[in-house]
Amino acid sequence: MNPRRRFIKYSALTTAGILASPALLQAKRRIAPSDQIRVGLIGANNMGFGILRHHLALPEVVCAGICDIDQNVLDRRIKEVNDLTGKSPERFTDFRKLLEKKDLDAVIIGTPDHWHCLIATAACEAGKDVYVEKPMANSIGECDLMAQAASNYGRIMQVGQQQRSGQAFIESRELVKSGYLGKIRKVNIWSNFNYGLGNLKKSPTPVPDGVDYDFWLGPAPKRDFNPNRFHGSWRHFWDYGGGLMSDWGVHLLDMAIWIEENPAAPSRVLTYASNVNLENRDRDTFDTMNVLYPKKDFLINYDMNGGLQTGPYGKPYGIGYVGEKGTLVVNRNGYEIYPEWDPEAKAPKIEAKKLEGMKESHNLHVANFVECIKTRNQTICPPEAGRIAALHAHIPNIAARVGAEELIWNDAKREFEGNKAANELVWPSYREPWVLPKG
């Protein structure tokens, strides 16, 4: 099924259902137990729970369990699911116990990035399908392991790059690939968000009551507890995430990759990175980056600015497909085409088009995942798409960390050419007793 037909189908499936409405609860009761899809949530504090809510808005989905290392989060989320559905999911503090459930069909992974690989590979081995938040993993090597696990165990995996399910992005891709804009010269991407600065520095504090902090760290290095490295802001530290580049970068870069004739990992990457704002900020990651990806079909130019809120065309973030006949600018709210002027014809080269009023597409992305669980068809964002998008974010981050303006990536060998320091960051080092999964 092509992306536009997917959008129409899943939009119809999800927009009619309002979670906890009497009609939806009645519909859930009519689903035979044998036709139910039982999901478990691992990592329930933020986005993971939002994704669970979208699952529960589908009549056939039941929440069988929730796992979190924070008892306070666990208490709150179990109560919310009970209030929404009239049933309390089973409670877990160790994801391995949740995966032992024989009647569990799938898991949602909403943990910090450094946990994605361990949990996803274990879930595949346990025979569970996987919805994993983006970026796919916290390192290049871990992305490979996850893709291999999904293939080896025949599991359905959806990576949470939900823009692939959004109408504005689907229509934009169709317009680009149809040739409406003419030959694409380059794709300009920008993301300007204040939170990219990270938090102001704080002193270490005691571990909050109810939190198993050692389990939260998991394979990451042992460190004293600091609220800046915990809920909500962990992504600014290399141990757990990749900053604004891996948070928004994979979303936006994926939309450039999606229009390639044969989507592929980047080979040559040129990176400028700096921390411009040093005013008592607590972060490892960079607030300012410019990255060039020379591709076979066109150039991708990514401009990232933490601490800024405005950008080209009056949008804090967006993608501009620059064609010979016009430029199409798109973000989650919609798109607009800016035609080039034909001086001989004294007229625009193409007709201007516009789409406005779009909303988030998490619900459509979830509906696609659930449909693929039933049909065993490939999801709209399968593991290889997640891997390639993650590489476009990880490579410039690695370049910036090792001080390389240019890196050459050999995807066949899964290594950088001529840069030992960069190759040392392809794979993470796991803290005992955690062990990196085997491919």
pLDDT tens string 327-355: 999 999 999 999 999 999 999 999 999 99
Separation between Cα atoms, residue 27 and residue 25, nearest integer Å: 5
Q: What is the average per-residue pLDDT within 305-316?
A: 96
Q: Hey, which residues does 275 pair with through a beta bridge?
A: none
For residue 10, pLDDT over 70 is answered with: no
pLDDT at 301 over 50: yes
**For the chain, what percent of residues have pLDDT higher than 70?**
93
Mean pLDDT of 133-151: 98
Residue 253 pLDDT > 60: yes
pTM of structure = 0.95
Least confident among 149-163, 196-210, 225-239, 274-288:
274-288
How many Å apart are CA 10 and CA 77, to the nearest integer?
26
- Reading the block at residue 301, the tokens are 């130019």
- Are 397 and 236 within 8 A, CB to CB? no
pLDDT of residue 5: 59
What pLDDT score does 352 carry?
97
Question: Do 66 and 89 form a contact (C-beta atoms < 8 A)?
Answer: yes
pLDDT for the residue 8: 54
pLDDT at 348: 98
**The predicted structure's pLDDT at residue 31:** 82
Read off the pLDDT of each residue in 193-208 and give the average, rounded to a whole number: 95
Domains of the chain: 3-164+366-382 (3.40.50.720), 166-359+388-423 (3.30.360.10)
User: What is residue 279's predicted lDDT score, i.e. its pLDDT?
Assistant: 81
- Check whether 191 has a pLDDT greater than 50: yes
Residue 16: per-residue pLDDT? 47
Average pLDDT rounded to a whole number, residues 301-317: 96
- Mean per-residue pLDDT for 42-66? 97
Place of tokens 């040093």: 278
Residue scoring higher pLDDT (279 or 353): 353
CB contact set of 188 (below 8 Å; sequence gap of 6+): 301, 303, 312, 319, 320, 322
33: confidence class by pLDDT, cuts 50, 70, 90 = confident
Q: Using the predicted structure, report yes or no on whether residue 407 has a pLDDT greater than 80.
A: yes
Q: Are 252 and 191 in contact (CB under 8 A)?
A: yes
What pLDDT is recorded for position 76? 98
- Give the residue-averaged pLDDT of 78-95: 97
> What is the pLDDT at residue 11?
57
Confidence tier at 2 by pLDDT (50, 70, 90): low
The lowest-confidence range among 11-25, 191-205, 227-241 is 11-25
Q: What is the mean pLDDT of the chain?
A: 94
Please write the tens of the pLDDT for every residue from 152-183.
999 999 999 999 999 999 999 999 999 999 99
Closest of 231, 233, 253 to residue 243, by C-alpha: 233
Tokens 């119809």 sit on residue: 12
pLDDT at 277: 83
pLDDT (0 to 100) of residue 9: 57
